[in-house]
Amino acid sequence: MLSSSFFILFGLSFLLASFGFWQLGRTDIARAYVVPMLVAGTLILIHRARPVLSEPGTADELPGGLRH
Domain segments of the chain as ranges: 2-54
pLDDT confidence band for 6 (50 / 70 / 90):
confident
> Who wins on pLDDT, 56 or 5?
5
Torsion of CA 49, 53, 57, 59, to 10 degrees: 150
Please state the rounded mean pLDDT for residues 55-67: 55
pLDDT confidence band for 49 (50 / 70 / 90):
low
Mean pLDDT computed over every residue of the chain: 79
Calculate what percentage of the chain has a pLDDT beyond 70. Answer: 68
State the first-to-last Cα distance of the chain, in angstroms, to the nearest integer.
23
> Who wins on pLDDT, 48 or 18?
18
